[in-house]
Amino acid sequence: MRLFPLLTAVLVTAFLYLLIIERDTLFAFARGEETATATTAVEPAAPATPETATGTVGVVAIHSTAQVIDSAVILRGQTEAARQVDVRAETSGLVISDPLRKGAYVDQGDVLCRLDSGTRDASLAETRARLAEAHARMPEAEASIPTAEAQLETARAQLEEARINDNAARKLAEGGYASETRVAAAQAAIRAAEASVKSAEAGLKSAQSGVLNVRAAIQSAEAAVAAAEKEISRLELHAPFEGLLESDTAELGSLMQPGGLCATVIQLDPIKVVGFVPETEVDRVNIGAPAGARLTNGEELIGRVTFLSRSADPLTRTFRVELEVPNHGLQIRDGQTAEIAIASDGAAAHLVPQSALTLNDDGILGVRVVSEDSHALFQPVTLLRDTAQGVWITGLDDQADVIVIGQEYVVDGVPVRASYQQAEQ
């Protein structure tokens, strides 16, 4: 009975020996591999290679060549209506037109609000009657001028005749052929003729003044008619341009006062995209430069720069820039957030995976490259553009071996063993 426990103990001991002491041999036998005999001499360990001795770190890098790309100025901005006007009344009156609802499309010249004329039509008729009366007085006034001129010529002729008679009377009196009474009568005739001339001149001036007064009355009546017609024209408020109503027009029956709001009209085609350029980038933006924008819904817009401010915002020290893009379907709304890219002069840049970017101890953005002596080296870079294929960066030499895997595990001066993969184009 004691034989079986002894056999069991021997078998368990042998199994534990094989499992612990001869573990490798046991696993090799289980896999069907040949095992070395116990008498085989142990080969001496190979000496450490220089790479292992110096702590070389394996990394993955790419051979990157600089390419010339369009360097864009990237901004954040928003869409803005090309024009927006509050149509306001210039006169008072009751609104007698049915209101147009907000969102309605209106053409240039469409009537938005119509006011009650009140007594304005009667005032216009009165001013026109005064104008007609003034015109009727003009022939009479103009006819008095020739009459006054004829009277003046007659008076001057009589004066000339009186002077001739006076001269003859004086000469006859000197020869004893005329009396002193005749001379006195001739002188009296001269004074009477002179008085007639003055009276005729006054009559001519009066006739001319009458014509001037009639002309002034005509001009005054014409001005009154124009004012009355202008006042009546203010009773209809028209759309200054085609666009959309941003608010309802004034309600029927409401009293409109001067300056009262009739409606707000906005023009969305074309539409503007507005951003603000920092002063460090403003010299790279030019009027007429091609530009694009991407809305938050993914829609992309293409246009050109139409305005660049010459005066900086006093708080942000940025300059307003405007793009004009078509909006035929009016799908783009006023006030949508947009990412703006404005084309600028080309720049030599490298396309690398975004994961290759890293920060040094000072928080500077850059990449790590493999130097000529196979050491890791940090290079500061500037990010130009983010694309689906990677990021475009500047700050490297025309040829650079950029570490794309393992850059976080090395620092400047660490020897690296780089394996290279194909760079994205």
Which pLDDT score is estimated for 425?
Answer: 54
**Can you give the pLDDT at residue 18?**
65
Asked if residue 417 belongs to a domain, the reply is yes
Helices (H), 21-119: 23-31, 50-54
Cβ-based neighbour number of residue 354 at 10 Å: 12
Helix (H, G, I), strand (E, B) or coil at 315: coil
Number of folded domains in the chain? Answer: 4
Q: Are residues 272 and 374 in the same domain?
A: no
My answer on whether 338 and 358 are in the same domain is: no
Provide the CATH number for the domain around residue 214.
Answer: 1.10.287.620
Q: Quick one: pLDDT at residue 369?
A: 94
Each residue's pLDDT, cut to its tens digit, for the chain (425 residues) gives: 466 676 777 777 776 666 666 666 655 655 555 444 333 333 343 333 334 435 688 899 999 998 887 677 889 999 999 999 999 999 999 999 999 999 999 999 999 999 999 999 999 999 999 999 999 988 988 888 888 888 889 888 888 888 888 888 787 777 777 677 877 888 888 888 888 889 888 988 888 898 899 999 999 999 999 999 999 999 999 999 999 999 999 999 999 999 999 999 999 999 999 999 999 888 889 999 999 999 999 999 999 999 999 999 999 999 999 999 999 888 899 999 999 999 887 778 899 999 999 999 889 999 999 998 999 999 999 887 788 888 989 889 999 999 999 888 898 889 999 998 876 65
Quick one: 104 and 200 in the same domain? Answer: no
DSSP element (H, E) containing 192:
helix 180-233
**Domain for residue 94, yes or no?**
yes
Domain of residue 281: give its range: 267-345
pTM for the full model? Answer: 0.56
Task: Assess if residue 312 is contained within a domain.
Answer: yes
219 plus 133 within the same structural domain: yes
Q: Contact, 332 vs 295, CB < 8 A?
A: yes
CA 223 and chain centroid, separation? 41
Helix (H, G, I), strand (E, B) or coil at 231: helix
Residue 181: Cβ-neighbour burial (10 angstroms; 0-12, 13-18, 19+): exposed
CB count, 10 Å around CB of 154? 14
> What contacts 24+ positions apart, CB below 8 Å, involve 356-360?
356/402, 356/403, 356/404, 356/407, 357/381, 357/383, 357/391, 357/393, 358/407, 358/408
Check whether residue 243 and residue 106 sit in a common domain.
Answer: yes
What pLDDT was estimated at residue 361? 87
CA 405/CA 185 separation, integer angstroms: 138
- Identify whether residues 225 and 142 lie together within a single domain: yes
Q: What is the pLDDT of residue 158?
A: 87
Q: Is residue 109 domain-shared with residue 239, that is, in the same domain?
A: yes
Of 319, 345, 371, which marks where a domain is finished? 345
**CATH number of domain containing 402:** 2.40.420.20
- 108 and 156 in a single domain? The answer is no
Domain CATH number, residue 96:
2.40.50.100
Cis peptide before 380 (omega within 30 of 0): no
